[in-house]
Amino acid sequence: MSPFVTGLVGTALMFVLIFLKMPISFSMLITGFLGILFLTNVEAALGSVALTLYRCFSDYALTVVPLFVLMGALANVSGISGETFQVAEKWLRRLPGGLAMATIAGCAAFASICGSNIATVATLGSVALPEMKKARYADSLATGSVAAGGTLGFLIPPSIGFVIYALLTEQSVGRLLIAGFFPGLLLAVLWMGSIIVSVRLNPGLAPVSLARVSWKERLYALRNLWAVILIFILVMGGIYLGMVTPTEAGAVGAVGLFLIALSKRRLTFHNFVDSLKETSRVTIMLFLIIAGALIFSYFLSLAQVPTVLLGWIADLEVSRYVILALIIFIYLLLGCIMDAGAMLILTMPIVYPIIRTCGFDPIWFGVICVIMMNAAMITPPVGVAVYVTTGVAKNVPMSTIFRGALPFLIAMVLVSAIVTVFPQVALFLPNFMR
Amino acid sequence: MLSNIRKLVHRITLYAAAVGMFMLVIMMFLTTSDAISRKLFVPIPAAYELNQYMLAVFGLLGIAYVQQTRGHVSIGLLIERMPLRTQFVIGSIITFISVLVFSLVIWWGWVEGIFSMKAGTASDILRIPVFPFKLLVSVGAFLLVLELLLTLIDNIRNALSATSPDKEIEA
């Protein structure tokens, strides 16, 4: 068997194991190990597994992941997500579908201090959904906006999606995080626009609210945003101005939110321990997938799979945008059945070299990838954000939530198209960085 | 008997993970102090290498805890359409393969750790030896194998008890 064929057989074996419900991290690690064993010898195979595990788990660049996740967990404990919704609700309530728009705006604000998103869906949803039910919004719009809004945490910095991408592609974490800012904002605005359009087309979705909100009330509500603004300036301002590294920013943000949660008397020993446990679960699950992917891609490069594939791609007589569209299409498909983070890590060893060969900007492509990760969280049948929403919106069937999230999915594809035609949307800010 | 062993294993892996979580809290405060003191006075020496070591403790000791909470993501889409017994049989095989490979990792993690100990590799500034942390690969894999063995026993038991056809229909 030639090395290349071994590589293909290994890849097929990995997918078989994944579909037999072996954890994704184990599948990559084990096929990677077997492949290296087949191509070299026992010592090399065992050595690369043990050493990669150590190197990956002691990689300083990865420190930022648990810190960002912990920020999100602490922000949830301190009840900030409910507050951001209430502020947005005061300002947007009277517009068509105003409460759904407020959900998106609240999620966007919360995403600016939170690196992962899933918990946001639960905490913000538990505040926003009863409000929308009271105002007799359609279930599909109400739950769809909560599920979609929750994915914004991955795009609007700080975001662990960008951290993982940066790690796998050896790009600057800081620049990637900054690059996500405008596309994230654009996505939130487009989502709000699509809510207005769908409510205009089908007024039954959201009855217009007649209750007036005075300007005094609106302005007074803004005071609740201090924590978000403070943490955002500390973390993203610090990174943008080059005052702190992303890891330091994560630590400062986590300490800041720890103190805010303490001052709001929300932090008990019990929920601090819960935050730490959640951080461990999310982070270590990702770390092991990254380690597995590193072992697996070492096997692939031994088998010369990337080299051969890139040779084929280079010989293809098609526009590079056709290849890009194909990659996006594959991501949308994979996103239907896979966890977002796992999807990114699994595909990067093959996709990234292709993207570089085609001459695309790596920072720009990071933004596209993270938007695809967002999409993966709301596409059926496997969509984490939808699952979590089901937990909050009892009595709403999952199919209704998936249907409600569909318009938001279309907007995501649109944003990818806009960012592709106008890469400046993503690259404008990072290009100004020192 | 088995339930006592299960409790013991779960407790050990939780405590191991708790040591790691404690390291995370230290990392958070140490890195913040470093960032502040670097701007105002001088950087805290060795914050970088301390963070690396603490991250290793946090991550490697936590792998088994994540298995305990079934937190390692997997795709059950295809397999959940199969008869219950087939699911458990496949589950047993999959877990058995994992036990085998991670047992090899226990062994080789140990070999690599002892190798570093003999070579005397240490961190740059504080000269903290690397080998105890490399041995954590072995310890982490050992704890993971313990948890996986519990999963394996469950799967085999379920596969055996789901033999009668009516139970499959029930599920």
pLDDT on residue B169: 43
Which chain B residues in 52-111 lie under 8 Å from chain A, judged by CB atoms? 52-53, 55-56, 58-60, 62-63, 65-66, 69, 71-79, 90-91, 94, 97-98, 101, 104-105, 107-109, 111
Taking CA atoms, A418 is separated from A180, A281, A358, in Å, by 14, 35, 19
Chain A and chain B share a number of CB contacts under 8 A equal to 178
pLDDT on residue B168: 44
CA A215/CA A212 separation, integer angstroms: 10
SS3 A20: coil
Does residue A158 have a cis peptide bond before it, meaning omega lies within 30 degrees of 0?
yes
Cβ neighbours of residue B92 closer than 8 Å, sequence gap 6 or more: B152, B155, B156, B159
The answer to whether the Cα torsion of B90, B76, B101, A33 is positive or negative is positive
CA A40/CA A45 separation, integer angstroms: 7
pLDDT on residue A117: 63
Both tokens assigned to A48: 């690369």
Check: complex ipTM more than 0.90: yes
Q: Are A294 and A345 in contact (CB under 8 A)?
A: no
Question: In terms of Cα–Cα distance, which of A65, A55, A341 is closest to B28?
Answer: A65
Our CA-based measurement puts residue B44 at a distance from the nearest CA of chain A, in whole angstroms, of: 13
CA A370/CA A203 separation, integer angstroms: 33
- Helix segments in A202-339, DSSP class H: 215-221, 226-232, 238-240, 246-263, 269-302, 305-315, 320-337
CA A158/CA A177 separation, integer angstroms: 6
- What's the pTM value of the predicted model, to 2 decimals? 0.90
Both tokens assigned to A423: 């890469």
Q: How many residues would you count in chain A?
A: 434
Question: In terms of Cα–Cα distance, which of B110, B50, B139, B28 is closest to A71?
Answer: B28
Which parts of chain B register pLDDT below 70? Answer: 163-171
CA A308/CA A304 separation, integer angstroms: 6
CA B65/CA A70 separation, integer angstroms: 17
Give the best residue of A17, A29, A42, A54 to mutate against chain B (max B CB count within 10 A). Answer: A54
Residue entry with tokens 């570089």: A356
Interchain contact, B27 vs A63, CB within 8 Å: yes
Interchain contact, A288 vs B63, CB within 8 Å: yes
Q: Domain spans of chain B? A: 2-161
SS3 B122: strand
Query: Which run of H or of E encompasses A162?
Result: helix A160-169
DSSP string, B54-105: HHHHHHHTTHHHHHHTT-S----TTGGGS-HHHHHHHHHHHHHHHHHHHHHH
CA B60/CA B57 separation, integer angstroms: 6
Question: In terms of Cα–Cα distance, which of A366, A26, A371, A390 is closest to A184?
Answer: A371
Query: Which run of H or of E encompasses A127?
Result: helix A118-134
Please tell me which of the candidates B34, B69, B77 has its beta carbon nearest to residue A337: B77
Both tokens assigned to A185: 């904002």
Cβ neighbours of residue A287 closer than 8 Å, sequence gap 6 or more: A56, A57, A62, A65, B59
Q: Are A246 and A239 in contact (CB under 8 A)?
A: yes
Angle at A379 between CA A375 and CA A384, to 5 degrees: 85
Tell me the chain A residues in contact with residue B97 when contact means C-beta distances shorter than 8 Å. 22, 30
From first to last of its 434 residues, chain A has per-residue pLDDT tens of: 788 999 999 999 999 999 999 999 999 999 999 999 999 999 999 999 999 999 999 999 899 999 999 998 999 888 888 889 999 999 998 889 999 999 999 999 999 988 776 777 888 888 899 999 999 999 999 999 999 998 988 889 899 899 999 989 999 999 999 999 999 999 999 999 999 999 999 998 998 877 788 889 899 889 889 999 999 999 999 999 988 999 999 999 999 999 999 999 989 999 999 999 999 999 999 999 999 999 998 999 899 888 888 888 878 888 899 999 999 999 998 888 888 888 899 889 889 989 998 999 999 999 999 999 989 989 888 888 888 888 888 889 989 999 999 999 999 999 999 999 999 999 999 988 75
pLDDT on residue A307: 84
Q: Are A49 and B118 in contact (CB under 8 A)?
A: no
Q: Are A147 and A398 in contact (CB under 8 A)?
A: no
pLDDT on residue B163: 57
Question: In terms of Cα–Cα distance, which of A420, A417, A345, A422 is closest to A376?
Answer: A345
CA B117/CA B125 separation, integer angstroms: 18
Interchain contact, B75 vs A283, CB within 8 Å: no
C-alpha radius of gyration, chain A, whole number:
22
Angle at B146 between CA B78 and CA B82, to 5 degrees: 15
Query: Count of CB atoms within 10 A of residue A389's CB?
Result: 30
CA B113/CA B130 separation, integer angstroms: 8
pLDDT tens per residue across span B85-135: 999 999 999 999 999 999 999 999 999 999 999 999 898 888 999 999 999
Please tell me which of the candidates B32, B55, B112 has its beta carbon nearest to residue A62: B55
Which chain B residues in 124-143 lie under 8 Å from chain A, judged by CB atoms? 133-134, 136-137, 140-141
Tell me the chain B residues in contact with residue A51 when contact means C-beta distances shorter than 8 Å. 112
CA A81/CA A423 separation, integer angstroms: 31
pLDDT on residue A387: 87
Question: In terms of Cα–Cα distance, which of A51, A35, A59, A8 is closest to A286?
Answer: A59
Q: Which residues make beta-bridge pairs with B122?
A: B129
Residue entry with tokens 């750790």: B113
Residue entry with tokens 């909100």: A213
Which chain B residues in 11-30 lie under 8 Å from chain A, judged by CB atoms? 17, 20-21, 24-25, 27-30
Residue B112, Cα to own-chain centre: how many angstroms?
18
Q: Are A298 and A47 in contact (CB under 8 A)?
A: no
